[in-house]
Structure 1
Amino acid sequence: MRASLLTSWKVRFGLGVLGLFVLLAIFGPWINRVLLGVDPRANDIGAIASPPSTAHLLGTTQFGQDVLAQTIAGARGSMLVGVLAAGIGTLIAIAVGVPAGYFGGSVDNALNFLTNLFLVMPVLPLILIVAGYVQGTGMWVIALIIGLFGWSGGARTLRAQALSLSSRDFVLAMRMLGEPHRRLIFCEVLPHLSGWISAMFLHGMIGGVLAEAGLAFLGISDSGSISWGTMIQSAQQQSAVLRGFWWWFVPPGLCIALIGTAATLVNFGVDELSNPKLRLARRSVVARTRRAPRPATAGGETR
């Protein structure tokens, strides 16, 4: 499966786009400082709300700030929130959902009660309330809040899958041989959940980026930081849509859409390779296509 992972065009395209944004997040300040020579917070008084040109490739904002430099700088904040929130939520979902499904009994009852408690909570209002009351709501705090309140759905899914795997013959046989639970969970159960966990992480990353953009749009974010959400919020405050400044809000919105598309394609590719039913179905379709008779021409010859 690992060898054929990169043969899927969905995975290659998705990983390429995600890798591009990761590189922008890591080397964004260096690109702005060395390659572009532009400070994303600097104001160019001679180019106020100017459209894209040779001097400013993506135009400038109402305050004369370069949109390209801000888009590159905003990749770090948005990707940090998305990856960190997805990592926190995925780890909590694994720590709660897998033991609940594997052990069952009282462990399942306690952990399932915790999952149901977070599952019925209104996540978005809670995030808004907590983020509004926490002092110094920076990117790390936003990611922590999103991750802590966004794990319950994934935990429920992992619990159901672990509950099914714990009753399989190979797990029961290894239990009878005296294998410790720790080895069974990490070496037998979790590898079979790799597709679900990767899909959960990618879904959490998309949700983290969108949640950060939504919180910044509502003004619940660090005003001193630059992210795609703060760019959209600033454009909304200055009525960029009504004034026709499309170059101000389209780049950050397009970056968010590209991350969502790339993560979805990677998820589809991993699911096709990790799910035996989908893999066999794809092979059977290819085999039937190769065995299909070619259409005959008017003279009776086949093409």
Structure 2
Amino acid sequence: MSVTATDTAVLDGTPAPEAPTRRARLRFLRGGKTRTGLLLLAFFVLLAVIGPWIAPYDPDAMSDQLLQPPSGEHWFGTTHTGQDVLSQILVGTRGVLVVGFVAALIATVLSVLIGVTAGFLGGAVDEILSALANIFLVLPGLPLIIIVASFVPDTGDLLIAFAIALTSWAWGSRILRAQTLSLRRRDYVEAARATGESTWRIILFEIMPNLTAVIASGFVGTVIFAVLTEITLAFIGVADISHWNWGTVLFWAQSNQALAQGAWWWFVPAGLCIALLGTALALINFGIDEFVNPRLRTATGSSRKVKMRVGFTPVARKPPVGAPPEPSTSKEPRP
């Protein structure tokens, strides 16, 4: 049976902390940044699911309407070969999110397993796992992925996600190790040890719940990194350009000088999607930070009124003992 912080407080004779209320549990979802980020992310997830079915045209289909601006027939215009840009954006959304979330999931699992294990067990296990994390920290991530993608003939989404995950788990592992080192000597952990709980049960039920926010923040940050890395690989032509994603759209637009030809509709939609998805994930990350650290929360209502001070605050200085009194600098009013 696991001993929690409430049980420890009762044993010590101190009043047990109150159970978290529904208001406290839903504070994260009620934040303005969090709601906005989740709505934007849900929109892109919906596009990733239904995008290939609602695309008006085949993204590879060519037509005689070359470099046409947005119109009723082609909402986002066409490319130099008459391909529909909207269809390319809709079909490419799935690949972007699949790589982002799969890479983040693999990297988060690796960072939790290695970081928490190293921090809690310590000793030789900590030294070996920390050395492994340090090795991956010094490896250049993007150049290594470019080399792997160049030598593999079929660089699908899953292969790119796995390569990104292998080069992005070490930072999260170091952070989780440091947090675990500060938690393993807490009173409730010592109480669980005293009752004979196994090591892995203590990690799962005593340590992990206190690392949830750190793990979630690291997961969201890894999604951002994975998405930008995949788009970069597609934009420079390293990834398989036969698989549509937003980076592939930018690659073909740049290769055919869309900017020089004034075909802004070719690259602006993909750029806006990248910016909106990055903004959504960043807002969710900010919401996690505000939920964990109450000092970061924005004041509302009457608490928004801040008294501004102009100039320096006067400080009264006491003269030393035996010193003559300082002359008054105030001027008497003239008659």
TM over 0.5: yes
1:39 aligns with 2:58: yes
SS at 1:269 equivalent: helix
The answer for the alignment partner of 2:162 in structure 1 is 144
Counterpart residue type for residue 129 of structure 1: I
CA distance in structure 1 between the partners assigned to 2:290 and 2:279 by the alignment: 17
Superposition RMSD in Å: 1.8
CA contact (8 A) 2:258 2:264 kept: yes
CA contact (8 A) 2:290 2:296 kept: no
The answer for the alignment partner of 1:4 in structure 2 is 27
- Pair 260,178 (structure 1): closer, same or farther in 2 beyond 3 Å: same
Counterpart residue type for residue 149 of structure 1: T
1:1-303 to 2 correspondences below 5 Å: 1-32=24-55, 36=56, 38-45=57-64, 47-273=65-291, 275=292, 278-279=293-294, 282=297, 285-286=299-300, 289=303
The answer for the alignment partner of 1:297 in structure 2 is none
Deviations 1:102-141 (A, max 9, x none): 1111110010000000001111111111111123111111
Identity of aligned residues (%): 47
CA distance in structure 2 between the partners assigned to 1:179 and 1:97 by the alignment: 21
Counterpart residue type for residue 48 of structure 2: A
Q: TM-score, normalised by structure 1?
A: 0.89
SS at 2:139 equivalent: coil
Counterpart residue type for residue 28 of structure 1: G
CA contact (8 A) 2:289 2:296 kept: no
Q: CA deviation at 1:264?
A: 0.8
The answer for the alignment partner of 1:299 in structure 2 is none
Deviations 1:175-228 (A, max 9, x none): 122111112111111111111111111111111111011111121112221000
CA distance in structure 1 between the partners assigned to 2:209 and 2:245 by the alignment: 35
Q: TM-score, normalised by structure 2?
A: 0.81
- Pair 176,280 (structure 1): closer, same or farther in 2 beyond 3 Å: farther
Q: CA deviation at 1:282?
A: 3.9
Q: CA deviation at 1:98?
A: 0.7
Q: CA deviation at 1:286?
A: 5.0
Give structure 1 stretches of 5+ with no counterpart.
294-303
Q: CA deviation at 1:290?
A: 7.7
The answer for the alignment partner of 2:327 in structure 1 is none
Counterpart residue type for residue 279 of structure 1: P
CA distance in structure 2 between the partners assigned to 1:30 and 1:139 by the alignment: 20
More helix by proportion, 1 or 2? Answer: 1
Q: State how many pairs are aligned.
A: 284
Task: Between 254-263 and 173-182, report the one with greater CA deviation.
Answer: 173-182
Counterpart residue type for residue 225 of structure 1: H
CA contact (8 A) 2:37 2:284 kept: yes
Q: CA deviation at 1:279?
A: 2.0
Q: CA deviation at 1:167?
A: 1.6
Counterpart residue type for residue 208 of structure 1: A
Please identify the structure whose Cα radius of gyration is greater: 2
CA distance in structure 2 between the partners assigned to 1:137 and 1:149 by the alignment: 16
Give structure 2 stretches of 5+ with no counterpart.
1-23, 308-335
Q: CA deviation at 1:281?
A: 6.4
CA distance in structure 2 between the partners assigned to 1:151 and 1:292 by the alignment: 42
Q: CA deviation at 1:151?
A: 0.7
